[in-house]
Structure 1
Amino acid sequence: MRVYRAAGAVLEPRSTAPRTAPTHQWTFKFRSNALCLNFVASMAGPRSRPHGVERWTSPALLEEWFHRSGLPILSTSLNSGDVADARELREAIFRLATLEQRGAPASACDIDLVNHWSRRQPYVPILDAGARHQRLPEVLEFAELMALVAADAIDLFTGEFNHRIKECASEKCPILFVDRSRAGNRRWCSERPCGFQASSRAYRLRRSESDDEAT
Structure 2
Amino acid sequence: MRAGFPDFRLGNVLATSFTGTLSERQGDPVERIPTPQRLIDWLAVYGLAVDSCTPAQLDRARELREAIHAAATAAAIQDPLPAAAVHVINDCSAQGRAAAVLTPEGERRWRLSSASRVEDALGVIAADAISIIAGERDGKLALCASPTCQAAFFDTSQSRTRKWCDMNTCGNRQKKARFNANRSKNPRPAR
So what's the TM-score if we normalise by structure 2?
Answer: 0.81
Match of 2:170 in 1: 194
Aligned with residue 18 of structure 2, among 20, 39, 43:
39
Shift of 1:37: 1.3
Tell me: CA distance 1:185–1:80, structure 2 relative to 1, closer, same or farther (3 Å): same
Residue in 1 that maps onto 2:41: 64
Partner of 2:95, secondary structure, is coil
| Correspondence for 2:83 among 108, 114, 137 | 108
What are the Cα deviations for residues 166-196 of structure 1, in whole angstroms up to 9, with x where unaligned?
2222334343211111111111122223323
The structure having more radius of gyration, on CA atoms, is: 1
CA contact (8 A) 1:161 1:180 kept: no
- Could you list the per-position Cα deviations for residues 122-149 of structure 1 after superposition, in whole angstroms to 9, with x for gaps in the alignment? 322333338x444333773211111100
Q: The residue matched to 1:137 in structure 2 has which SS?
A: strand
Q: Is the 8 A contact 1:161 1:179 kept in 2?
A: no
User: Aligned pair count?
Assistant: 186
Superposition CA RMSD, Å: 2.8
Over residues 93-113 of structure 1, what are the superposed CA-to-partner deviations in whole Å (9 max), with x where a residue is unaligned?
Answer: 111112112211122222122
Q: Which 5+ residue runs of structure 2 have no aligned equivalent? A: none
Asked whether 1:28 is paired with 2:27, we answer: no
User: Which residues of 2 match residues 47-196 of structure 1 at below 5 A?
Assistant: 47=26, 52-68=29-45, 70-74=46-50, 76-129=51-104, 132-137=106-111, 140-159=116-135, 164-196=140-172
From the superposition, tell whether residues 162 and 153 of structure 1 become closer, same or farther in structure 2 (CA, over 3 Å).
farther
- Deviation of 1:72 after TM superposition, in Å, equals 2.8
Once the two structures are TM-superposed, the CA of residue 78 in structure 1 deviates from its matched residue by 0.8
**How far did residue 203 of structure 1 move?**
3.2
Task: Report the identity percentage.
Answer: 26
Q: Report if the CA contact (8 A) 2:15-2:68 is conserved.
A: yes
Distance 1:198 1:147 in 2: 35
